Amino acid sequence: MALNISALKSKLNQLSNTNSNKNLFWKPKPGKQTVRIIPYKFCPENPFMELKFHYNLGGKTYISPDSFNRPDPIVEFSNQMKKTGSKEDWQLGRKMEPKMRTYAPVIVRGEEDQGVRFWGFGKKVYQEILGIIDDPDFGDITDLANGRDITVEFKEAVSGGKDFPETTIRIKPNPTPAVDPANKAFMEMLTKQTDILTLFEEKSYEDLKQIMNEWVHKMAPVDSDSDGGEAPVQPSTPKASPSVAASQTQTSTSTKDIESAFDNLFAPKK
């Protein structure tokens, strides 16, 4: 049988695209680094993209359609479990809720030649950044001409003396330009941004339902990441999202039998 060169080339391109996409995400290393949040090309009025994810679901992480106000079978099942009256069901429902992670386009000082990347952070860091912007002494820190750089300090769990990594930020006191206006290459770089939504594959409603079905029957745990952790979702080759179902049958669930609760939630309508 002849070697299928075309199929191998296709696989190589797929792997290359995946590796390239991973390079578009920046995560802090232990110690201090300086970044500059810049305006987002695809949403100039707001550089912060709030996305929701299901972590470690069968060993993988998936973006939740709830990020875009679309039906999510995992969210529906989570809500169902929290209404049974059982403490165990409520705890499971809470674990199955998608966790929010915010992304912002940044230039990393000392690594400007790598272009605009996305920094993902949790609720604590997000609140601090919004608080800084709300402070009239700082204002729009993303302004290209008169914005502010941010010092990001990342401590791993061991070095930080805690059970989880810790990220702290400090705003630079003096306004500075994002890049040297005389550097045409850097100025052009600001316009070459990637739409972050093309970096995550949104599963269809039916696909997510099947993924959850397999997870529920295995009773695997669902965990979220912490501030400063690696980008939670492995970027994938862009794929168009199929349409999602508009509604599903709402039925009562058993307070203890998780498998039965899942089966009831998605039972066909009679």
pLDDT at residue 268 greater than cutoff 50: no
Residue 242 confidence (pLDDT)? 32
pLDDT tens sequence across 26-56:
999 999 999 999 999 999 999 999 999 998 8
Sign of CA dihedral 248, 254, 255, 260: negative
**Mean pLDDT over the full length of the chain:** 80
Count the neighbouring beta carbons within 10 Å of the beta carbon of residue 185.
10
pLDDT at 122: 93
Phi, psi values for residue 49, rounded to 5° = -110, 110
Q: pLDDT value at position 21? A: 74
Distance CA 6, CA 13 (A): 11
pLDDT of amino acid 191: 87
Give 184-242 pLDDT, tens digit per residue: 888 888 888 999 999 999 999 999 999 998 888 875 444 444 454 444 444 433 333 33
- H/E element, 133: helix 123-134
Residue whose C-alpha is closest to residue 259's, from 213, 221, 224? 213
What domains appear along the chain, each with residue ranges and CATH number? 25-265 (3.90.198.10)
d(CA 94, CA 85): 13
What is residue 162's predicted lDDT score, i.e. its pLDDT?
65
**CA geometry: angle 194, 198, 68, nearest 5 deg:** 115
pLDDT-based confidence at residue 64 (cuts at 50, 70, 90): very high
Q: State mean pLDDT over 128-132.
A: 96
Cα separation, 138 vs 170, whole angstroms: 12
Cα 100–84–216 angle (5° rounding)? 60
